[in-house]
Structure 1
Amino acid sequence: MKTMKSLALAAALLMGATTLAHAATEVKMTGDARVYGNFFEGRNFTGWNKTGTKTEDNFEIWERFRLRSDFIANEGVKFRLGIKVEDTWGHGTFTAANPETAVQVDLAYLQFKYPGTDIEITAGLQDVNLPQSSMFYMSPVWSDKMAALTIKAPLIENTLSVLTGFGRLIDTNRTYDTTTTQVADELDAYFLALPVTIEGFKATPWGMVSVAGRNTDYAYKDTTDVAEWGNNFNNTLMSAASAANRTSATGLGRWKNDQNPYYWVGGAFEVTALDPVKFYADVIYGAGAAGDTKAAKREGWMVDAGAEYTGFDMVTPQVFAFWSTGEDKSTSNGSERMPYMRSYWGPGNSFLFDNSQELGKGSNMYVSPVGNYGIGASLNKMTFIENLTHRLTFVYLRGNNSARAIRYARTYLSNSYFSMGHDLTTNEYLMGLNFDTKYMIYENLAAVLETGWAHGQFQESVWGHRMVSQADSLGNNAWKVAFGLTYKF
């Protein structure tokens, strides 16, 4: 009886505390859901994973649900909690019998304005996207969640503002290192952007510095096959020699320094003064491990540019191009490709790149823009019937990488650092075509159809007979058709 009374009292106290919290805090919820079937044939142009050790299933059904709850104390203070469930039907959470529940924390941050000002401070797991002109979706250097402290502040009203912050991307050993010898096991980032807006023109110069520890675990943790490109830090930050021998005491590309700085500087530009003709461009330079061994350093450029005409009611034509430095003939002198970390970049919803696809997982060919160059065109926002829009995009690209460097790296250093169809030599090309359609059933419910085709030509002396022969058996083609529903609330 005493136990029952104690439980009743605890429940009453909890309900009372909850009622008081609700009285003081406003809760708002937003979110989205998507469910779609995805037919994909010829992933990586072979129908295999990138190392040729697994074969693809052509059809799967993906489901994702995200819920974002804002706990608002007043107009200046809130906390956002975002959760996500994402998997294929019949796997993990969506298994009929004995499901493996996998609810992920997607966002978790405190946000407030400094009293009496418009200075906004955000601390916690949040979206951090380095500046990029809007034609090219998001940044090829970093566009993802980050546990960070960021500050946004206006400097000149409606003209100049500042965004700055610090993020800890990886802390491998957390509180204690594995022995009594302290090691550098963190990857940190410091970033700054200064958006400038005047009539008809917007420019955002920006920079980021990242400090990379030699004993940090840079391996990508997502083991799903569609994410195997994974933006693995070993591959995206380091030279081929470093990725193979980073922690070794000897060997080409070994890190002699406990910590190596990486840095990026860039600018995003948009010109609307000649509206309805608008121009977009980005310039980025990145470098890292410059003070380490010669084979460990990595540096490079990437630029893109595009234009669109918005004067038509039924379509917006767009043209665009990009260029990025590639590997020279030697691996022993480091890498000439721009380092990056979390890349989501691409124009026109292109089927080749991981960018703005609404039906996300398993949605594209995951081609890297770094080390390649290309041109393309898009007929965007085509509309002939109310609530029905279309987009048609074509992209052609070639490699800027020496075949000799990739061949050597794959043979003697790391077979997975470069991958066929993801990285191109100067003798290889790809082309991709996608046609996408969206019908708004209701204001917040849409039916989406995304289709894509890609074709490539590959060098057998670089990738080997087995991989190239398998691609030839599929005509060097890849196909995707995805159809589903998206709901936003």
Structure 2
Amino acid sequence: MKRLGCLALAASMVFGALGAAHAATEVKMTGDARVYGNFFENRNFTGWNKAGTKTEDTFEIWERFRLRSDFVANEAVKFRLGLKVEDVWGHGTFTAANPDAATSLQVDLAYLQFKVPGCDNIQVTAGLQDVNLPQSALFYNSPVFSDKMAALTITAPLIDNTLSVITGFGRLIDTNRTYDATTTQRADELDAYFLALPVTLEGFKATPWGMVAVAGRNADYSYKDTTDTVDSGNSFANTLVSAASSRNMTTSGQLGSWKNSQNPYFWVGGAFEVTALDPVRFYADVIYGAGATSDHKASSRGGWMIDAGAEYTGLEVVTPQVFAFWSTGEDKSTRNGSERMPYMRSAWGPGNSFLFDDSQELGKGSNMYASPVGNYGIGASLNNISFIDKLTNRLTFVYMRGNNSPRAIRDAVLNYSNTYFTMGHDLTTNEYLMGLNFDTKYMIYENLAAVMETGWAHGQFQQSVWGHRLAHEANNNDNNAWKVAFGLTYKF
């Protein structure tokens, strides 16, 4: 009963005021910096952006600096402010003179965090924070959502050292803010509610979780799911809706073809890790997601994604890993909705794979940005290779194929003007990708490292699906893409 009382107290205090702190505020700072050159040949296998309207610049020098400042009133209360500067040399922040002030400095974290009085093991966090839905460690982060979110979260134990709860609410989009454009109410928000229940036993960890998002028809979903350097061609909405819903989207990104003013989306899943047979460890995830199921049939979207892997940690010089994943794909028709799992901000991938946007340290323009959703694959990695002091390496290979009907993708490419599918990101059942990466890190000092990440990818694409122009250009490059990135990273 005491735990339930503490949880109720936490919920009631979320919108209340904290007492004034009487102790002097302590400021703690951490951060990181990275400067690196990136040579990338044949992005998207064509040397163009996803839409085929821009050509690549093969060499860039990127610089990023992040500062995390914690303003600590006492052990129970703090505020974190995170600032970031990031751009290429010769542009914006890093021009020789007169940098663009609008892009010089970004606030990427800003949240208040405190423990509930009398229930010190219950923690409340409110503000712009990292929100990562549960995923087993072998696969880095969530394919559904892993990013910054303006949110309110509460974490609390239910059974000491065994069961806890993480719950929260976040607002991802509020297009018109205080006032709508007219005197008619507009559904212009995208909200999310999430819950996770981590269970930890000896040799076993399981985290069942769920999330519900309410998507407004008039919200602006044109926010890109990647940066301009990636130029995936996919708007935020494309990762949620069906091709039919996406077809009539206006230039501002509104979902004009929905009949409902708001549509719910939901995800349920579980992340599992087994260490009872250590040094052999097993990992797995199961996720189902669906949305707009009460709208037009053509507007609905729903599907599965599962992954599994194993590693052997008993060797000092290397950690071998094997893994596989599978996700439902589109059937032959785009008029009966989508059979792919909806998602919002994905950061998933095993072994630092060059195919996926995952754990690359030298991040911008770091991979092929292929989607695991709608595809399946297998792979292996030799992780933590270490024969020389302070020097570690990683070698990873992944082979993947599509679960999507060629007919459905061809129909969307020919008839929908918003680039719902893109070559190399979405694969048909007749297409495949393979990717190889070899990564190296040398610790110059305790906090300073020299990092090199290399990658190679090869694909096979259907000209009848993507058209002669894109497929022919990829074929001119032997359907190969590769990159070499080298730089310095510093953490303090």
Query: What band does the TM-score fall into relative to the shorter chain?
Result: over 0.9
1:359 aligns with 2:362: yes
Output the CA distance in 2 between the equivalents of 1:225 and 1:237: 20
Do 2:145 and 2:346's aligned partners in 1 also have CA atoms closer than 8 Å? yes
Can you list the C-alpha shifts for 1:162-202, whole angstroms capped at 9, x where unaligned?
Answer: 00000000000000000000010000000000000000000
User: 1:99 deviation in Å?
Assistant: 1.0
User: Distance between the aligned counterparts of 1:454 and 1:353, measured in 2?
Assistant: 11
CA distance in 2, matches of 1:59, 1:351: 17
Aligned to 1:63: 63
- Please give the secondary structure, in 2, of the residue aligned with 1:119: strand
Residue 161 of structure 2 corresponds to which residue in structure 1? 158
Q: Does 1:236 align with 2:234?
A: no
What is the aligned partner in structure 2 of residue 133 from structure 1? 136
Matching of residue 431 in structure 1 with residue 434 in structure 2: yes
User: Is residue 225–residue 345 contact of structure 2 (8 Å, CA) maintained in 1?
Assistant: no
Residue 410 (structure 1) shift: 1.0
Within a 5 Å distance, the mapping from 1:315-464 to structure 2 comes to 315-464=318-467
Contact 2:234-2:420 at 8 Å conserved across structures: no
Q: Equivalents in 2 of 1:228, 1:341: separation in Å?
A: 16
Contact 1:444 1:488 in 2 (8 A): yes
* Residue identity opposite 1:203 in structure 2: A
Aligned mates of 2:247, 2:233 — CA distance in 1? 17
- Distance (Å, rounded) in 1 between the aligned partners of 2:423 and 2:446: 42
Query: What are the superposed Cα offsets for residues 269-316 of structure 1, whole Å, 9 maximum, x if unpaired?
Result: 000000000000000000000000011000000000000000001000
1:466 maps to 2:431: no
Q: Which residue of 2 aligns with 1:197?
A: 200
Matches within 5 A, 1:233-312: 233-246=236-249, 254-312=257-315
Structure 2 partner of 1:180 = 183
Distance 1:416 1:221 in 2: 12
Structure 1 residue identity aligned to 2:45: F
Shift of 1:234: 1.6
3-state DSSP of counterpart to 2:380? strand
> Matched residue of 2:465: which SS?
helix
Structure 1 equivalent of residue 316 of structure 2: 313
2:289 and 2:262 map into 1 onto residues whose CA distance is: 17
* CA displacement, residues 7-41 of structure 1 (integer Å, 9 cap, x when unaligned): xxxxxxxxxxxxxx997100000000000000000
Distance change in 2, residues 1:162/1:376 (3 Å): same
Which residue type is aligned with residue 115 of structure 1? P
Confirm whether residue 103 of structure 1 aligns to residue 105 of structure 2.
Answer: yes
Count the aligned residue pairs.
467
Match of 2:25 in 1: 25
CA distance in 2, matches of 1:380, 1:343: 23
What secondary structure sits across from 2:444 in the alignment?
strand
- Paired residue type of 2:373: V
Task: Give CA deviations for 1:428-456 in whole Å, capped at 9, x if unaligned.
Answer: 00000000000001111100000000000
1:240–1:414 Cα contact (<8 Å) kept: no
Alpha-carbon shift at residue 220 of structure 1 (Å): 1.2
Rounded to whole Å, the distance in 2 between the matches of 1:360 and 1:212 is 30
Residue matched to 1:8: none
| CA distance in 2 between partners of 1:216 and 1:187 (Å) | 7
8 Å Cα contact 1:351-1:452 kept in structure 2: yes
Aligned 8 A contact 1:239 1:253 in 2: no
| CA separation of 1:416 and 1:246: change in aligned 2, threshold 3 A | closer
Give the whole-Å Cα distance in 2 for the aligned partners of 1:322 and 1:426: 15
Q: Residue deviations 1:329-370, cap 9 Å, x none?
A: 000000000000000000000000000000000000000000
Specify which of 93, 98, 122 is matched with residue 125 of structure 2: 122
Shift of 1:228: 2.2
Cα separation, 2, equivalents of 1:438 and 1:22: 46
Unaligned runs of 5+ in 2: 1-20
2: CA distance, partners of 1:321 / 1:132 = 14
Q: Report the secondary structure of 1:235's partner residue.
A: helix
Aligned to 1:225: 228
Shift of 1:225: 2.6
Amino acid in structure 1 at the alignment position of 2:395: L
Equivalents in 2 of 1:236, 1:112: separation in Å? Answer: 34
2:483 aligned with 1:480: yes
Provide, for residues 111-147 of structure 1, a one-character-per-residue CA deviation record: whole Å limited to 9, x for no partner. Answer: 0000121100000000000000000000000000000
CA distance in 2 between partners of 1:106 and 1:166 (Å)? 18
**Alpha carbons of 1:59 and 1:437: their partners in 2 closer, same or farther (altered >3 Å)?**
same
Query: 1-side partners of 2:136 and 2:346: how far apart?
Result: 14
The one-letter code sitting in structure 1 at the alignment partner of 2:449 is: A
The residue number in structure 1 matching 2:43 is 43
**Alignment CA distance shift 1:230-1:195 (3 Å):** farther
Contact 2:234 2:419 in 1 (8 A): no
Q: What does residue 3 of structure 1 align with?
A: none
Partner of 1:112: 114
Separation of aligned partners in 2, 1:480 and 1:448 = 14
Name the CA distance, whole Å, in 2 between partners of 1:223 and 1:263: 23
Tell me whether 1:52 sits opposite 2:52 in the alignment: yes
Task: Tell whether the 8 Å contact from 1:376 to 1:394 is kept in structure 2 after alignment.
Answer: yes
- Summarize the Cα distance change of 1:328–1:364 in structure 2 as closer, same or farther, 3 Å threshold: same
Aligned-partner Cα distance in 1 for 2:316–2:163: 33
Q: Distance in 1 between matches of 2:225 and 2:482?
A: 24
Unaligned runs of 5+ in 1: 1-20
- TM-superposed deviation, 1:98: 1.5
Q: Distance in 2 between matches of 1:397 and 1:302?
A: 14
Q: TM-score, normalised by structure 2?
A: 0.93
* Normalised TM-score (structure 1): 0.93
- Aligned position for 2:85: 85
- Structure 1 324/463 Cα, relative in aligned 2: closer, same or farther at 3 Å? same
Q: Is the contact between residue 221 and residue 237 of structure 2 (CA under 8 Å) also seen in structure 1? A: yes
